[in-house]
Amino acid sequence: MEFLDRHALASAWVALQRATDGSALQSDSQWSAIQLNMMCIEDPEQAWGSVVEIFELSSDPWVLENLGAGPVETLLGLHGQFALNANESYMSEKKAFLGVLTHVWRDALSPEVAQGLTSLTKRR
C-alpha cells in the first residue's frame, strides 16, 4: 500500500479529532483515520512516524487521548515489541509522550505487552 504525505495525514487526523459529527470537516478528514489504521496493520514503522508527527503537531488533550486510545494502542496490540521499543526511544526525548500512553487500554494488549507498557510507564 502506498501512503500519503505524513504531514498531510497528521494534519487531517488532528482535524478529524476536532470535527463535529456530520460536519464537512469530518467527512473531508475521514480518509486520514482509514489511512492511519491501514498503516498500523501493514507498515508499523510508517504508522509510528505518523504518531510522532501527530504528537508534535498538536497539544490538544482530546487529540492526544485519541492518539493513545487509537493508533498507539493498535500498534501495541499488533506489533507489541516494535511499538514498545519505539515508545521507549521516543520517550527518552519527549517525556510528555507518557501522557499519551495513559490512554492505552491495557486489557486490549497481550499480557506480555501490557506488562512491558506498565514497566515503561513506571520508569518515567
Distance, CA of 93 to CA of 97 (rounded, Å):
9
CA dihedral 94, 40, 120, 16 (to 10 degrees): 50
Nearest alpha-carbon partner for 79 in 123, 116, 35, 119: 116
| Prediction pTM value | 0.93
Cell numbers placing 69? 486510545
The string of pLDDT tens digits covering residues 20-70 is 999 999 999 999 999 999 999 999 999 999 999 999 999 999 999 999 999
- 10 in Cβ contact with 53 (< 8 Å): yes
